[in-house]
Chains A and B, each alone.
Chain A
Amino acid sequence: MGMTMTQKILTDHAGLESVKAGDLIKVKLDLVLGNDITAPVAIKEFKNIGVSKVFDKKKIAIVPDHFTPNKDIKSAEQVKFIREFSREMGIENFFEIGQMGIEHALIPEKGLVAAGDVVIGADSHTCTYGALGAFSTGIGSTDMAAGMATGEAWFKVPDAIKFVLAGKPSKWVSGKDIILHIIGMIGVDGALYQSMEFTGDGLKHLSIDDRFTIANMAIEAGGKNGIFEVDEKTIDYMKEHSSKKYRIFKADEDAEYSRVIQIDLSTLKPVVAFPHLPDNTRTIDEVGDVAIDQVVIGSCTNGRIEDMRIAAEVLRGEKVHERVRLIVFPATQKIYLQALREGLLEIFVEAGGAVSTPTCGPCLGGHMGILAKGERALSTTNRNFVGRMGHPESEVYLASPAVAAASAITGRISSPEEVV
């Protein structure tokens, strides 16, 4: 029986001839990732195992990105703890403030992941790197600890949903709209325990940044991983960013899928997810009159250079609505610098937006833009759960950077067509 892309990568890393859905296997890891919230718990567990060193100093990445630059003393203590551990173990990929970025934008940018890799990260959005044709999935701190010690992890081999993308999306439809459309269609547990494999002619119209956004939110449909077929754009990206060898695993012709879903990208409209689940979606023309207090543009989902560019295109020469706070946070230092050099940050500041250093802060209600009771945000982040960005009685709406920028101008959720 044929295998899916994911099953082929897992087979390879388990040293087996083949696997099938449901098999419990142990696989070798190419990268183990953690952040300032999950790594402290992992390091405590690592010390409990009783080993004196990590399995490979080059294959661990620790990124203090959530409550950084540190928001309070306890957060500073947590980062101090992971910094000291990284130094003690000689971990090569610890990224200090000033070098760092939001982990899921940073890791591919630094060339630490390539097609065919198996990556685990103690952060649910680790599934982002599937955009490059890697098997990449979120796990918890204890799995991270075990991974750091042994270089292995256990998995139940998933079956998969195949998404066949066709057609060219229109000007204001981005990767964010595509993944919100998909989550709206299959639900927040629509891909539970499964892979989401993306293929089809439509891929050629999706930039790598679009693909990162789509793979990033596979977890929002319950997916174990999201993975894209490798094409020339993927190879160009990897060559530009990494010296790592990549390996391309294609699904077999006779691979079995639990579902095959065809999507014509040319028919899609911008999508907004209403509170309090990412599958509570409406197209932009169905939104109605929703006034907002805050707009957040950034995060591991939408803080990349293309996101900055399209937001700036909409905001150029415009002013943020007097009742709205706009916060823009480029996802890495490199993106920040690029946005600065391209004049994008100037556009945001002149429009009346606040530009922040890279941090996960506002997305998870950590710092740098917490919502008060009754406030409403439109955000390019990935979750709109109860209390996600602040007070349990605040509300989060999810959308693309273009819709976010347009809404910052009008003060209510708006299509970019209204303002451009």
Chain B
Amino acid sequence: MMTGRAFKYGDNIDTDVIIPARYLNSSDAQELAEHCMEDLDKNFVNEAKQGDFIVAGKNFGCGSSREHAPIAIKASGVSLVIAETFARIFYRNAINIGLPIMECPDAAKEIEAGDEISVDIKTGAIKNITKSKEHKAAPFPEFMQDIINAGGLINYIKKEQVGDE
């Protein structure tokens, strides 16, 4: 069970605002986290606490394939991103690096900035403690759940290789 506070953003949050290209001369997670969301929300970096959530609208993470975007979000302490929909490359990248994400249009629409949220990633149950409301996200297909459970694609492949031998 994860519990934290929601940072709320709109539709089409692109990877250029999640982590601007001017910082991509580094791939260090902590360095990237220092600039996460800064062109959209200067306060995010200072206010985000370990375990907080990002809640956003449609097409979250659109644009560039830079994995630096989910890396920066994860390293800034965010435990989960909830959105109405995700851009497909961001979706893959998040799963591959072990940043939990959930597609849940109801929750994405109704949760407001600052709401206290708790989430059970296994069942997809999202509880808005502030508003006493519950939402349910569709669970991941089994194959993706396996990658998530392994802690990302690299660990998943390592396990698979061991299995092959």
Residues of B within 8 A of A (CB): 12, 14, 16-17, 20-22, 24-27, 39-40, 58-59, 62-68, 70-71, 85, 87-89, 92-93, 96-97, 141, 143-144, 152-154, 157-158, 161
Contact of B17 among A75, A141, A193, A385 (CB under 8 A): A385
Given A74-B25, A124-B63, A222-B88; 4 other pairs, CB 8 A cutoff:
A124-B65, A224-B88, A366-B22, A383-B14
B97 lies within 8 A of A142 (CB): yes
Residues of B near A41 (CB, < 8 A) are: 27, 67-68, 71
Whether A192 is near chain B, meaning CB under 8 Å from some CB there, is yes
A188 lies within 8 A of B62 (CB): yes
Residues of A within 8 A of B (CB): 24, 37-38, 40-41, 44-45, 48-50, 66-67, 71-72, 74-75, 78, 121-124, 126, 138-143, 145-146, 149-150, 154, 188-189, 192-193, 219, 222, 224, 277, 364-366, 383, 385-388, 392
Residues of A near B157 (CB, < 8 A) are: 49, 146, 149-150
How far, in whole Å, are A299 and B111 apart by their CA atoms in the complex? 40
How far, in whole Å, are A124 and B91 apart by their CA atoms in the complex? 13
Residues of B near A140 (CB, < 8 A) are: 65-67, 70, 89, 92-93, 96-97
Chain B min CB distance to A186 (Å): 12
A67 lies within 8 A of B25 (CB): yes
Chain A min CB distance to B87 (Å): 6
A122 lies within 8 A of B26 (CB): no
Contact of A364 among B17, B64, B143, B152 (CB under 8 A): B64
Residues of B near A37 (CB, < 8 A) are: 21, 24, 66, 68
Chain A min CB distance to B138 (Å): 13
CB<8 Å pairs between A and B, sample of 21: A67-B24, A121-B65, A123-B64, A139-B93, A140-B67, A141-B67, A143-B93, A146-B153, A149-B157, A154-B143, A189-B58, A189-B87, A192-B85, A222-B59, A365-B22, A366-B22, A383-B14, A386-B14, A386-B16, A386-B17, A386-B40
B14 lies within 8 A of A385 (CB): yes
B12 lies within 8 A of A189 (CB): yes
A49 lies within 8 A of B87 (CB): no
How far, in whole Å, are A139 and B97 apart by their CA atoms in the complex? 12
Residues of A near B143 (CB, < 8 A) are: 24, 154
CB-nearest residue of chain A to B68? A41
CB-nearest residue of chain A to B38? A392
Q: A143-B92, A189-B59, A386-B16 are in contact. Are A122 and B39 (CB under 8 A)?
A: no
How far, in whole Å, are A80 and B99 apart by their CA atoms in the complex? 29
Q: A124-B63, A149-B157 are in contact. Are A142 and B152 (CB under 8 A)?
A: yes
A366 lies within 8 A of B21 (CB): yes
Residues of A near B26 (CB, < 8 A) are: 74
How far, in whole Å, are A71 and B66 apart by their CA atoms in the complex? 19
CB-nearest residue of chain B to A154? B143
How far, in whole Å, are A124 and B58 apart by their CA atoms in the complex? 18
Chain B min CB distance to A125 (Å): 9
Contact of A38 among B20, B63, B65, B153 (CB under 8 A): B65
How far, in whole Å, are A41 and B71 apart by their CA atoms in the complex? 10
Contact of B16 among A146, A222, A387 (CB under 8 A): A387
Residues of B near A188 (CB, < 8 A) are: 12, 59, 62
Residues of A near B97 (CB, < 8 A) are: 140, 142
A142 lies within 8 A of B25 (CB): no
Chain B min CB distance to A146 (Å): 6
| Most chain B CB atoms below 10 A, which of A124, A143, A277 | A124
Residues of B near A189 (CB, < 8 A) are: 12, 58-59, 62, 85, 87
B92 lies within 8 A of A365 (CB): no
Residues of B near A277 (CB, < 8 A) are: 12
Contact of B89 among A75, A138, A392 (CB under 8 A): A138
CB-nearest residue of chain A to B97? A142
A139 lies within 8 A of B92 (CB): yes
B27 lies within 8 A of A44 (CB): yes
Residues of A near B21 (CB, < 8 A) are: 37, 66, 364-366, 388
How far, in whole Å, are A377 and B16 apart by their CA atoms in the complex? 17
Residues of B near A193 (CB, < 8 A) are: 88
How far, in whole Å, are A124 and B62 apart by their CA atoms in the complex? 10
B59 lies within 8 A of A143 (CB): no
| Most chain A CB atoms below 10 A, which of B16, B25, B153 | B25
How far, in whole Å, are A392 and B97 apart by their CA atoms in the complex? 28
Residues of B near A392 (CB, < 8 A) are: 20, 39
CB-nearest residue of chain B to A142? B96
Residues of A near B22 (CB, < 8 A) are: 365-366
Residues of A near B58 (CB, < 8 A) are: 189
